[in-house]
A and B are shown apart, each in its own frame.
Chain A
Amino acid sequence: MQIDRRLISHFDWTLFFLVLIMVGIGITTIYSANYNLATGHAGALPMRQLTWLGLGLVAMFVAISFDYHYIDRLAYPFYGLMLLLLILVVIVGHSGGGSQRWINLGFFRLQPSEPAKLAIVLIMAKYFQADEPANGYYLRNLLMPFAMVAPLIFLTLIQPDLGTAIILGIVFMSMVLMGGLRLRSFSYLVAAGLALLPVAWQFLKLYQRNRILTFLDPDRDPLGAGYHVIQSQIAVGSGRLFGKGWLHGTQNRLNFLPEQHTDFIFAVFSEEWGFVGCAVLLLLFVIMVAYCLRVVQRAKDRFGALLVFGMLSIIFWHVAINISMVTGLMPVVGVPLPMVSYGGSALASMMFAIGVIINVSMRRYVF
């Protein structure tokens, strides 16, 4: 395949650098979260995240290298592969923290629920790419996409990975709304969803129920989840205006912050960089999302617009849920902060998503 010169000149440097800055913030914070005052070392994780960045860049350039219209053909095979991997996780997966989420590939422990998020965007964009009906889609039009997405959500839920399952559901709903579901149909859907909540409750593991109950009533489990929420808030709050400075956070040293380099990385960051740092990081995310919304609006066709929207909705919901969780606005559901949290599967998936967005962005001029 030869690469059009015009494509290179339209390469989206803005998005590219935004991603690099965020991953950089992530690695420095991972370093601090694992820094041992006594030994002066931070262990292997920062270096490993740097490796995952390399892997992510490869994923990104793969996502950029071909015309995004090929995704139309790739969507179903990719979806099939994800379904297979998620089933495989249930059968041979490795467990960590009480749930089974990984497949060991030797050099890499793949967490298939991360790329599964991408699969939902791909199949939904494919399904909704045709012009929408005059009055919008009806519920019956959703049967087919729902039948495809439901197994992914179910398989994630039984791992159990509540956070990812929620993300999958929300991304699905976002795509449905953007694709053009009638508002009335949407309200039916919401009503049905609320009615199904008690059923879903039955599927949750005890510790997941406890987390939700703990959120609703923090006094319920003051020695477990409630304690983590409090320590996380103390970490964020004690950062005050300017923070305690890099490597000078104290809360994370105490090993109270659960998963301090993954889901709770924002707590470590806020303690050390304070309100100013948090505002800057949040602003970077807002710029990124707003910029991607621009790409949605300027995409040259519906398929491209839906692809970009789907990818940006993944990023948006991750950020919103993760920061709400760390600051005590939401129950603790394991959702990483995109680009910043430690984790190879998540980082590679996110960078692939950015790659797709850049792909659509740089091909908007190509006719």
Chain B
Amino acid sequence: MTVLQINKQDGAPEIRRRANFLYGLLAIVFIGLVARLVHLQLVQGERYTFLSENNRVRLKRVAGTRGMIYDRHGELLVDSRPSFDLIFVPEDSKEPEQTLRVLASRLGRDADELLQTYADSKSRSAFDEIVLGRDIEWAAVVAVETHQLDLPGVSLRIRPRRNYVDGQTTAHILGYMGEINDRQLKNYKEQGYLLGDEIGQSGVERRWEEVLRGQHGGQQVEVDALGRRVRVLHQVSDVPGYTVHLTLDRQMQQTAFEALKGKEGTIVAIDVNSGAILALASTPAFDPNVFARGIKGNEWNALITDRLRPLSNRATQGQFPPGSTFKIVMFIAGLEEGAVDPNAQISDPGFFHFGNRNFRDWKQGGHGAVNLHYSLVISCDTYYYQLGNKLGVDKIAKWARAFGLGEKTGIALDDERGGMIPDSAWKLKRYRQPWYPGETLSVAIGQGYVTVTPLQMANMMAAVANGGKLYRPRLVSKVESLDGSNVREFAPELIRTIEMKPDTLARVHNALADVVKGGTGGMARSPLIEVAGKTGTAQVVEMKGGYVKSEQLSRFTRDHAWFVSYAPVQSPQVAIAVLVEHGGHGGEAAAPMAKKVYEKFIELQKQAADNQHVQTEGANRAD
């Protein structure tokens, strides 16, 4: 141990000297802290003991009023109205069970039910509030207020409750509110969410939670031994959430929902020139107001076990084979890829022989001589079997994807599904098998592996109508603070421009118009507005053996009915996709629904024009 040369045997005189001061510093700090303790524990001890008994100082949180949601014309879709929750703090009552029995008799409620709620919440922290009832009726509010003295620990809490003006009609767009779950709590804790808080669980309520929510306020209050407020020590006022303006047209939405009533299906209407969603209805629906008042266990179970899946938004989450509506993609791809001579005719015997198999047309006996235009108007399968065979699956996939099929549109709603556009690379990867040419024929008529969402189809029709501009479907146009001081607007967003020859566009527009004029889509024809579109009937089960009429099949094996369209034919404004699950023929089940929505659109436009006219006239008179 001789390596260390730093030893200095006389210690450290300077440090010794300085350390002497530190005894003084130590004494001062010690005396200071003791003095503080004397003040807190001896001088103020009585006061603090009083405050600690029954937890006299409490925090009452007030949820920020959630923002409102409006449609494109400023019509109210959701607001919040005050409601009363019945609260119980057992620690404030000497005999909690007795108090609950008294409460039950005052309210005319079952005492056992209240006692059970109390028993179920034994694991909470002391002085945590138990919610005995949400949104209780006015008579109960009055009863509790007047009998306060007999009901120690029982109180009312004002809570803003969501009010969905149109109930089921807008359910899938607006979504619903629910109590925050454990996983969400973990993610949102930093933002000040607490157990028992409500949070948007689907739709706009969920996606726009952050702006709709507002900020909690609250009071630090001193209460008496019965839990009643003596004074407010501090207060922070809550900040209301932002208002959200949708692109939705409330009346078109109602018309769409009405048209679907009694069926399972969906209607999507999109503004052709901006991607704005005008209507997005899905049936069967649920009532978000049920969630707002606090959904009961059996109601929830009924919803999630319902075979018709009312919670699912069929427009964005339903993935269906597009059936014959896919022929629009084939039509365009054939012309653009030079795989088809638009004037050449084929002769259709009612089937296409390929490999060692006959691929059947939907029409027994065939359509006779068919050219490109006519093939779309009468929806000739045989024609598209041939075309598909010529194009090959990869070129078909290229064009389908160009129109946004098989990929999420990116609409601002959660849990959107993408659908599926297959190609040879995908099949090799997924099934480790090469693509068989026979499979291309199924794809050519929108069957086989192909699936799309109705929203994608509506968006595709918008792009076909406007000459190739594919917009991102847009649901929210503007978000603003209540006083209007803070505004964020959302402009149309172009995903891509699909390059097509003017000749191609002219031909497809022409054919789609003729589908409605004199083809399979005749039931969409309206005296008020000229519609162009394409029907589709998507097989759910493979037809074996002979031809079976859809009506003869049982409910869940019946075909899906499609109608995809736009209008007016000259200078298109709206694109609509209709899907009716197990609805049978697209021309019969789906096309008339689209017609209703288009007619509503024209009616609203006329009304607006008339109003405009009256206003201008008034202005003219004033001059």
Residue ranges of A at the interface with B (Cβ–Cβ < 8 Å): 38, 67, 69-70, 72, 98, 129, 131-132, 177-178, 180, 219, 221-223, 226-227, 230-231, 233-241, 250-251, 253-255, 270-271, 274-275, 278-279, 282, 286, 289-290, 293, 296-303, 305-306, 309, 316, 320, 323-324, 327-329, 367
Contacts and interface: CB of A to CB of B under 8 A. Distances in A.
B552 to A, nearest CB: 63
Nearest to B5: A69
14 contacts: A223-B220, A227-B220, A238-B45, A254-B55, A270-B37, A270-B41, A275-B38, A286-B30, A290-B23, A297-B16, A298-B11, A301-B12, A305-B15, A327-B36
A240 B42 contact: yes
Contacts of B45: 237-241
Nearest to A233: B40
Task: Name the residue in B4, B20, B22 with the highest tally of chain A Cβ atoms < 10 Å from its Cβ.
Answer: B22
B11 A233 contact: no
8 closest Cβ pairs, A-B complex: A237-B48, A222-B234, A238-B52, A240-B45, A302-B12, A237-B40, A69-B4, A275-B41
A306 B4 contact: no
Given A254-B127, A275-B41, A329-B36, A299 B26 contact: no
Contacts of A237: 40-41, 44-45, 47-49, 51-52
Given A222-B220, A230-B220, A367-B9, A236 B40 contact: yes
A317 to B, nearest CB: 10
Given A219-B234, A234-B48, A290-B26, 6 more contacts: A178-B18, A234-B52, A234-B57, A241-B42, A278-B41, A328-B40
A320 B38 CA distance: 16
A274 B52 CA distance: 14
Contacts of A250: 52-53, 55, 126
B122 interface: yes
Contact of A72 (B6, B8, B122, B217): B6
A301 B11 contact: yes
B52 A129 contact: no
Given A223-B59, A290-B23, A254 B126 contact: yes
A320 B29 contact: yes
A43 to B, nearest CB: 14
B236 to A, nearest CB: 5
Nearest to A240: B45
Contacts of B142: none
Given A238-B48, A270-B37, A316-B26, A227 B59 contact: yes
Task: Name the residue in B20, B38, B49 with the highest tally of chain A Cβ atoms < 10 Å from its Cβ.
Answer: B49
Interface of B: 1, 4, 6-9, 11-12, 14-16, 18-20, 22-23, 26, 29-30, 33-34, 36-38, 40-42, 44-49, 51-53, 55, 57, 59, 61, 122-123, 125-127, 190, 216-218, 220, 233-236
Contacts of A221: 236
Given A223-B61, A282-B33, A293 B41 contact: no
Contacts of B1: 67, 69
A299 B11 contact: yes
Nearest to B49: A238
Contact of A275 (B18, B19, B37): B37
Task: Name the residue in B19, B26, B125 with the highest tally of chain A Cβ atoms < 10 Å from its Cβ.
Answer: B19
Given A238-B48, A302-B8, A302-B12, A230 B57 contact: yes
Task: Name the residue in B8, B23, B44, B125 with the highest tally of chain A Cβ atoms < 10 Å from its Cβ.
Answer: B8
Contacts of B53: 250
Nearest to B25: A316
Given A227-B59, A282-B34, A297-B16, A241 B41 contact: yes
A301 B29 CA distance: 28
Task: Name the residue in A222, A238, A320 with the highest tally of chain B Cβ atoms < 10 Å from its Cβ.
Answer: A238
A18 to B, nearest CB: 15
Contacts of A302: 8, 11-12, 15
Contacts of B42: 240-241, 275
Nearest to B192: A224
Given A234-B51, A240-B42, A282-B33, A293 B127 contact: no
Task: Name the residue in B33, B61, B127 with the highest tally of chain A Cβ atoms < 10 Å from its Cβ.
Answer: B33
A303 B236 contact: no
B15 A309 contact: yes
B6 A231 contact: no
A67 B3 CA distance: 12
A249 B578 CA distance: 66
A65 to B, nearest CB: 14
A293 to B, nearest CB: 5
B48 A236 contact: yes
A177 B37 CA distance: 30
A249 B234 CA distance: 26
B36 A301 contact: no
Contacts of B23: 290, 293
Contact of B15 (A98, A178, A226, A230): A178
A222 B52 contact: no
Contacts of A301: 6-9, 11-12
Contacts of B235: 222
B33 to A, nearest CB: 5
A235 B52 contact: yes
A236 B37 contact: yes
A244 to B, nearest CB: 9
A302 B18 CA distance: 13
A235 B40 CA distance: 10
Contacts of B122: 38
A129 B33 contact: no
Nearest to A285: B30
Nearest to B13: A302
B51 A238 contact: yes
A98 B6 contact: no
Contacts of B9: 300-301, 367
A303 B15 CA distance: 10
Contacts of B18: 177-178
A289 B29 CA distance: 12
Nearest to A313: B22
A289 B26 contact: yes
A286 B30 CA distance: 7
Contacts of B20: 297
A54 to B, nearest CB: 30
A201 to B, nearest CB: 21
Contacts of A236: 37, 40-41, 48
A253 B41 contact: no
B15 to A, nearest CB: 5
A235 B33 CA distance: 16
A305 B12 contact: yes
A296 B19 contact: yes
Contact of A98 (B26, B123, B190, B217): B190
Contacts of A309: 15, 19
Contacts of B29: 316, 320
A32 to B, nearest CB: 15
A68 to B, nearest CB: 10
A222 B41 contact: no
A234 B48 CA distance: 5
B14 A132 contact: yes
B40 A327 contact: yes
A219 B236 CA distance: 10
Contacts of B34: 279, 282
Contacts of A323: 33
Contacts of B55: 250, 254
Given A227-B220, A241-B42, A309-B19, A180 B37 contact: no
Contact of A254 (B8, B15, B40, B125): B125
A221 B235 CA distance: 9
A253 B52 CA distance: 11
Task: Name the residue in A67, A98, A219, A305 with the highest tally of chain B Cβ atoms < 10 Å from its Cβ.
Answer: A305
Contact of B37 (A251, A254, A297, A327): A327
A127 B268 CA distance: 76
B41 A324 contact: no
A217 B295 CA distance: 43
